[in-house]
C-alpha cells in the first residue's frame, strides 16, 4: 500500500484537474483525455461494454481525419458473449515503398470489483504520482498511446511511406476469438512485413528510479488452463465419509504446489539473463549472470525461482487460480473443481504438461479438462531496423540504457501472429519498477511521469520505420 504523502492537502486540491498541477501540451491533454475515457469503460467479460469502447475510439479517429473506409469494426461471438475488434489503417502516400506494419493492442481488461479496491477501479485517479485504475498498464496505456500518436500524426499532415495498421482486439484476456480472427484476416489481406505490439516490453527501472534496461518481448510461453474435477456421492454432513471431494481436491492442489517443473532455457532466455543481470543490482543480478553462464547452477536457480519476476523464465509454471466445491453447508460435497493455469515453456506442449500434472496428482478419480485453445508460438527476431527505431526513441527521451530481448511469461495477441510466420515484438512506451507491477491485480497503476514520458515513443518509432513527411 502506498504511503500518502499529501494527506494534509484538502480534498478539493486532491480532486483538482491535473492541468492545474502540471502544464500540459495539447498532445498530453489529448492523451490524458483518451486515457481517462477508456479507463472508465468497463471492458471486462460479462459487462458488454466493448461496443462502447470501439465506438468511442472510432469517433476519435474519424474526428482526426481518418476516412470511414480506413476504420473497420468487426463483431465476434466470444464464448457466448458479443465483442468487437477495431482496425484502423494509416495510408501511405502514393505507392507504398514497403509492406505494411501491423501494430497490436487489446481493448479488454480483467474485471475488477470496486469493493476490493482502495479506489474506484474504473475511474482514472491521480494520486501520489500515479494514475490508478483497471487497465492503466494492461493494456489501455498501450491503446491510448498509439491512438494518440496516430491522431497527432494525422493532424500534422504526416504521410508514411508504407501502410500502418492498428489492430485492436476485444477479448485478449479471455477467449482470444477476436485475436485469432484478426490474425487470420491480417495474414490473408494485409501480409505485413512485421508486427509490433503495445502490450508488453518497455523500460525497466531500479527501485531508486534509475533506468536499468529497455525490454523487448520476442517470445512468450504457451498459455493453457486446466480444470480439475472430482465427484463422489456426498451425503449428510453429520455422517462424514472417508471420501470427501474437497479434501481429495485439496490434496491434489498441494501436490501441484509442491512440484517444480524442470529448469529450461533457450538462447534467448540465456542472453536475456546475461544482459539484464549486468544492470540488475544485488543477488538477483548475480544469479541472472550465473545462470546465463551455467544453467545448472543450483544457487542461481534457487534465487531466480524465488523471485516472481524471474521464476517464469526458468521453466513451466502451473498455479491454482480458482476454486469451487460443495452445494450446501450441511451436506458432504458431491463435487469440487479447481482451475489451474499453466504457462508452458516453448517446446513442451499442453498435452505433455497435462500428463505431468496427472502423474503428480496420482488420483485417477480426478478428471482433467483443457479449457483453452492452445497456441504454441516460435521466437521472433529483433530486426535491425526495429532495433534502430527503439534506439532512436531512447535517444529522443534522453535515456541511455541497453536494449534486451526477453521471453514473456504471460501471453499476448502476438502469439497468433508469430504462428503465422510474422516476426512480432512488443515495445511499450512505459517505464516502470518491478514493484509497480499490478496488472490483473488490485490497485493497478502507472506512474504519471511514465505516462507522459512515453507519449513520444510511438511517434519516433513510426517515423523511423515508415519515413514520410509532414505537409
For 8-60, write each residue's pLDDT tens digit: 323 332 333 333 457 999 999 999 999 999 999 999 999 999 999 999 999 99
Is omega for the bond preceding 130 within 30 degrees of 0, making it cis? no
Structure letter (DSSP) for residue 407 = E
Task: Compute the average pLDDT of residues 303-308.
Answer: 96
- pLDDT class for 199, splitting at 50, 70, 90? very high
Q: What is the pLDDT of residue 21?
A: 59
- What's the pLDDT at 324? 96
Query: Whose CA is closest to 451, among 109, 24, 82, 123?
Result: 24
Question: What is the second-level CATH architecture of the domain 11-200+412-466?
Answer: 3-Layer(aba) Sandwich (3.40)
- Is pLDDT at 239 greater than 80 in this prediction? yes
Model's pTM, two decimal places?
0.84
- Whether 65 has a pLDDT exceeding 80, the answer reads yes
Q: Give 262's contacts (C-beta < 8 A, 6+ positions apart).
A: 315, 316
What pLDDT is recorded for position 471? Answer: 53
- The domain made up of 222-370 is a member of CATH 1.50.10.10: no
Q: How do the domains of the chain map onto residue ranges?
A: 11-200+412-466, 222-370
pLDDT of residue 434: 84
Reported as a pLDDT band with limits 50, 70 and 90, residue 470 is low
Give the phi and the psi of residue 271 in degrees, each rounded to 5. Answer: -65, -40
Phi, psi dihedral angles at 377 (to 5 degrees): -115, 150
pLDDT of residue 312 exceeding 50? yes
CA 353/CA 372 separation, integer angstroms: 14
Q: How confident is the model at residue 3 (pLDDT cuts 50, 70, 90)?
A: very low
Q: Which helix (H) or strand (E) holds 369?
A: strand 367-370
Whether 252 shows a pLDDT value over 60: the answer reads: yes
Q: What is the pLDDT of residue 379?
A: 92
CB 469 within 8 A of CB 97: no
pLDDT at 8: 31
Mean pLDDT of the chain: 92
In the predicted model, what is the mean pLDDT of residues 425-430?
Answer: 97
Per-residue pLDDT band for 469 (boundaries 50, 70, 90) equals low
> Residue 13: what pLDDT?
29
Asked whether the beta carbons of 277 and 212 are under 8 A apart, the reply is no
| pLDDT over 50 at 1, yes or no | no
Task: Determine the pLDDT at residue 347.
Answer: 87
Q: From edge to edge, which strands make up the β-sheet containing 222-231?
A: 317-325, 335-344, 222-231, 367-370
Given a cut of 50, whether residue 137 has pLDDT beyond it is yes
For the segment 78-93, the average pLDDT, to the nearest whole number, is 92
254: CB partners within 8 A, 6+ apart:
none
pLDDT above 90 (res 373)? no
- Direct distance between the N- and C-terminal alpha carbons of the chain, in angstroms, rounded to an integer: 49
Q: What are phi and psi of 343, to 5 degrees?
A: -115, 105
* Residue 5 or 275, more confident: 275
Q: What is the pLDDT of residue 468?
A: 66
Amino acid at each position: 500500500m502506498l504511503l500518502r504523502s499529501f494527506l494534509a492537502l484538502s480534498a478539493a486540491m486532491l480532486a483538482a484537474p491535473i492541468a492545474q498541477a502540471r502544464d500540459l501540451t495539447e498532445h498530453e491533454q489529448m492523451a490524458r483525455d483518451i486515457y481517462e475515457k477508456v479507463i472508465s469503460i468497463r471492458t471486462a467479460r460479462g459487462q458488454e461494454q466493448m461496443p462502447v469502447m470501439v465506438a468511442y475510439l472510432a469517433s476519435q479517429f474519424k474526428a482526426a481525419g481518418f476516412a470511414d473506409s480506413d476504420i473497420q469494426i468487426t463483431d465476434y461471438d466470444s464464448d457466448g458473449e458479443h465483442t468487437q475488434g477495431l482496425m484502423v489503417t494509416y495510408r501511405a502516400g502514393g505507392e507504398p515503398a514497403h509492406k505494411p506494419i501491423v501494430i497490436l493492442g487489446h481493448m479488454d481488461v480483467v474485471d475488477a470489483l470496486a469493493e476490493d479496491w482502495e479506489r474506484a477501479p474504473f475511474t482514472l485517479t491521480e494520486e501520489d504520482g500515479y494514475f490508478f485504475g483497471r487497465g492503466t498498464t494492461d493494456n489501455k496505456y498501450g491503446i491510448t498511446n498509439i491512438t494518440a500518436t496516430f491522431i497527432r500524426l494525422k493532424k500534422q499532415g504526416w504521410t508514411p511511406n508504407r501502410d500502418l495498421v492498428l489492430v485492436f482486439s476485444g477479448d485478449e484476456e479471455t477467449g482470444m476469438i477476436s485475436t485469432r480472427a484478426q490474425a487470420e484476416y491480417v495474414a490473408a489481406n494485409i501480409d505485413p512485413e512485421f508486427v509490433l505490439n503495445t502490450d508488453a516490453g518497455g523500460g525497466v527501472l531500479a527501485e531508486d528510479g534509475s533506468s536499468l534496461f529497455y525490454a523487448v518481448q520476442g517470445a512468450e510461453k504457451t498459455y493453457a488452463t486446466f480444470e480439475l474435477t472430482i465427484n463422489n456421492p456426498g451425503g449428510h454432513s453429520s455422517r462424514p465419509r472417508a471420501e470427501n471431494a474437497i479434501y481429495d481436491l485439496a490434496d491434489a492442489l498441494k501436490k501441484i504446489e509442491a512440484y517444480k517443473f524442470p529448469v529450461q532455457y533457450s538462447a534467448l532466455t540465456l542472453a536475456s539473463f546475461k544482459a539484464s543481470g549486468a544492470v540488475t543490482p544485488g543477488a538477483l543480478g548475480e544469479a541472472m549472470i550465473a545462470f546465463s553462464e551455467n544453467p545448472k547452477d543450483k544457487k542461481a536457480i534457487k534465487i531466480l525461482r524465488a523471485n516472481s519476476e524471474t521464476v517464469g523464465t526458468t521453466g513451466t509454471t502451473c498455479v491454482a487460480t480458482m476454486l469451487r466445491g460443495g452445494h450446501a453447508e450441511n451436506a458432504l460435497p458431491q463435487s469440487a473443481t479447481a482451475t489451474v493455469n499453466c504457462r508452458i515453456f516453448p517446446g513442451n506442449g499442453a498435452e505433455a504438461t497435462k500428463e505431468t500434472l496427472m502423474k503428480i496428482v496420482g488420483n485417477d478419480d480426478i478428471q482433467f479438462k483443457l479449457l483453452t485453445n492452445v497456441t504454441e508460438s516460435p521466437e521472433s527476431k529483433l530486426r535491425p531496423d526495429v532495433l534502430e527505431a527503439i534506439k532512436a526513441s531512447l535517444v529522443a527521451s534522453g535515456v541511455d540504457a541497453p536494449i534486451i530481448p526477453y521471453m514473456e511469461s504471460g501471453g499476448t495477441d502476438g502469439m497468433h501472429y508469430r504462428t503465422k510466420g510474422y516476426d512480432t515484438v512488443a515495445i511499450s512506451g512505459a517505464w516502470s519498477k518491478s514493484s509497480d507491477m499490478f496488472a490483473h491485480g488490485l490497485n493497478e497503476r502507472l506512474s504519471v511521469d511514465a505516462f507522459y514520458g512515453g507519449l513520444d515513443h510511438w511517434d519516433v518509432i513510426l517515423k523511423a520505420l515508415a519515413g514520410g513527411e509532414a505537409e
